[in-house]
């Protein structure tokens, strides 16, 4: 394992940080392929000297992808975007996945792990879900033995879910419950997803298989916001926001540099995001899922009025 090289696309992001750490600990040499490699230099201390390197690559450019994959024993694709700004869903999640799979097959790579998402569906109303499904289909065309992992909401210290709503609760007297807050989620800890990726790389049984990754508990959107308020020691109104009104607001919010909500995301919220009853799961990879209650308090304390010194029983 010490001499094996893995190329990871999307390695500079939230999930990438934890995946690189897990790969380094497992002894892999790591090549991080990114459009802006300098954004990932913070990853170097996660491994030994020379263990983690970087290469400039845009997944929409087949030539750059092929160059990044050259010489690798394994490939991981974590690329995905939540809104279109400079890059399109089609380029990143469909064409990008196809380019990576084609390059991996041509290079004779031994293992390919592709991270998609629960809800990937070619018949979805949301373009995000459509292109996730297209990426999976095109991946299988070029690399049938690829392992596909579909996580629900991924949470952890740098996540964009619990942190986002905790930050909103510091400033706003209300938090919106899109669609009444009834949508179901099965949040999965980022460390568990990273462990699943590393495990899948070395598993013959995982080749060609699809796994849906979720935590031990299913929550409604409203329950998740209540957890945010409990852990940050804040009392805020949870106000139902009908899907129609949410779509109207999202039409304007999508114009912001980093939109908090887009019309496509509203469409996604109309469907539950939980592991299918007949799906292969973390347990099939030998991984015990960590719970929201066990992990979230370790990083949401910073949003409390008195930080780590807050007494939640007395905070109003």
Q: In what order do the strands lie in the sheet with 147-151?
A: 52-56, 29-34, 5-9, 74-77, 111-115, 147-151, 210-213
CA dist 196 → 172, 288, 289 (Å)? 37, 10, 10
Name the phi and psi angles at 7, rounded to 5.
Answer: -100, 130
**Residue 264, in any domain of the structure:** no
| Structure-block tokens of residue 135 | 């990426």
3-state secondary structure of 119: coil
Domain of residue 114: give its range: 5-157+188-213
pLDDT in tens, 47-99: 999 999 999 999 999 999 999 999 999 999 999 998 988 889 999 999 999 99
CATH number at residue 22: 3.40.50.720
CB atoms within 10 A of CB 309: 8
**Residue 229, in any domain of the structure:** no
3-state secondary structure of 251: helix
306: Cα separation from own chain's centroid: 30
CB atoms within 10 A of CB 199: 20
**Residue 278, in any domain of the structure:** no
Look at 87 and 245; give whichever has higher pLDDT: 245
**Residue 133, in any domain of the structure:** yes
| Structure-block tokens of residue 232 | 């940050």
**Residue 273, in any domain of the structure:** no
| Structure-block tokens of residue 284 | 């099939």
**Residue 293, in any domain of the structure:** no
pLDDT confidence of 313, banded at 50, 70, 90? Answer: low
The pLDDT score that the predictor gives to residue 307 is 78
pLDDT in tens, 102-132: 999 999 999 999 999 999 999 999 999 999 9
Number of domains in the chain: 1
The pLDDT score that the predictor gives to residue 86 is 80
Radius of gyration of the chain (CA): 20
The pLDDT score that the predictor gives to residue 316 is 41
- CB contact at 8 A, 190 and 156: yes
**Residue 251, in any domain of the structure:** no
| Structure-block tokens of residue 23 | 């790969």
CA–CA dist 290, 292 (Å, integer):
7
- CB contact at 8 A, 104 and 127: no
CA–CA dist 45, 288 (Å, integer):
27
The pLDDT score that the predictor gives to residue 314 is 52
Could you tell me which of 242, 232, 228 has the C-alpha nearest to residue 306?
A: 232
CA–CA dist 130, 135 (Å, integer):
9
Q: Produce one character per residue of 178-187: b if its CB has 16 or more CB atoms within 10 Å, e if not.
A: bbebebebbb
**Residue 68, in any domain of the structure:** yes
């Amino acid at each position: 394992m010490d001499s094996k090289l893995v190329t990871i696309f999307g390695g500079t992001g939230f999930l990438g940080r934890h995946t690189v750490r897990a790969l380094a600990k497992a002894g892999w040499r790591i090549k991080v392929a990114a459009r802006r490699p300098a954004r990932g230099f913070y990853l170097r201390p996660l491994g030994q000297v020379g263990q983690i390197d970087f290469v400039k690559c845009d997944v929409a450019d087949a030539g750059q992808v092929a160059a990044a994959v050259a010489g690798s024993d394994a490939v991981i694709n974590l690329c995905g975007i939540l809104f279109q700004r400079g890059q399109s869903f089609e380029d990143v999640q469909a064409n990008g996945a196809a380019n990576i799979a084609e390059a991996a097959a041509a290079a004779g790579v031994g293992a390919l792990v592709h991270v998609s998402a629960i809800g990937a569906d070619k018949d979805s109303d949301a373009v995000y879900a459509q292109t996730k499904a297209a990426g999976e289909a095109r991946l299988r065309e070029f690399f049938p033995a690829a392992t596909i992992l579909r996580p629900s909401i991924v949470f952890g210290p740098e996540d964009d879910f619990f942190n986002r709503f905790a930050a909103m609760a510091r400033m706003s007297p209300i938090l919106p419950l899109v669609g009444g807050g009834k949508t179901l989620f099965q949040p999965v800890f980022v460390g568990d997803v990273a462990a699943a990726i590393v495990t899948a790389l070395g598993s013959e049984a995982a080749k060609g298989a699809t796994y849906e990754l979720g935590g031990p508990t299913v929550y409604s959107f409203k329950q998740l916001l209540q957890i945010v308020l409990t852990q940050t020691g804040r009392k805020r109104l949870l106000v139902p926001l009908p899907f129609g009104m949410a779509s109207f607001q999202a039409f304007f919010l999508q114009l912001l540099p980093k939109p908090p909500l887009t019309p496509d995301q509203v469409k996604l919220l109309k469907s539950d995001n939980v592991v299918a009853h007949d799906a292969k799961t973390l347990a099939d990879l030998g991984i015990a899922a960590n719970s929201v209650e066990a992990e979230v308090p370790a990083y949401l304390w910073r949003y409390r009025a008195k930080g780590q010194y807050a007494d939640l029983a007395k905070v109003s």
